[in-house]
Amino acid sequence: MRNSIIIMLFAFIIAGCGKSKFESKPVLEFKDVNTTELHRQQLIRFTLGFTDKDGDISDSVFIQKIVADCPATSFNQWFPMPSVPPTSDMKGQIVLTLGYNVSGYSDILGPQCQQDDKAIFRFVLKDEKGNVSDTVSSPIITIFQ
């Protein structure tokens, strides 16, 4: 069975002299989204940057979809992260790919309230020790019926 979410993880080890500026709590940053207008049969890719002092990010990522005008379309879900060997002072990117009626991908749920959705996606990264990052948000994404 295919994973319901495709997560690609690019980890880069930061080597350098001096005191580390990384924190034990993961730090998450919203980097990019491939589209802000989503139609049926399209994929949406969110790119997030992260840093983690312990490099133990292999727990999960939380995705929340918020549609203020149509709460029936909103959702909250934790997705497992792929296993990555912990490395001190880890820095990298996480690419989350979801689909809108695309087989093999987690469905973002199309509009349920007779109008196009104006959604915001929020993300949190949880590491193996239970530390969680601050929440980061996407720009408004219009999901067409």
- The predicted-structure confidence for 99-130, as pLDDT tens digits, reads as follows 999 999 999 989 998 899 999 999 999 999 99
Are the beta carbons of 89 and 55 closer than 8 angstroms? yes
Q: Indicate which CATH number applies to the domain containing 48.
A: 2.60.40.770
pLDDT band for 137, please (50, 70, 90 cuts).
very high
Are the beta carbons of 70 and 112 closer than 8 angstroms? yes
Radius of gyration of the chain (CA): 16
Q: pTM of the entire structure?
A: 0.84
Structurally, the chain folds into a number of domains equal to 1
pLDDT band for 55, please (50, 70, 90 cuts).
confident
Instruction: Please choose, from the candidates 99, 128, 120, the residue with its C-alpha nearest in 3D space to the C-alpha of residue 38.
Output: 99
pLDDT at residue 64 greater than cutoff 80:
yes
In a domain, 111, yes or no: no
Query: What is d(CA 48, CA 27) in angstroms, rounded to the nearest whole number?
Result: 10
pLDDT of 58 reads 85
pLDDT of 124 reads 97
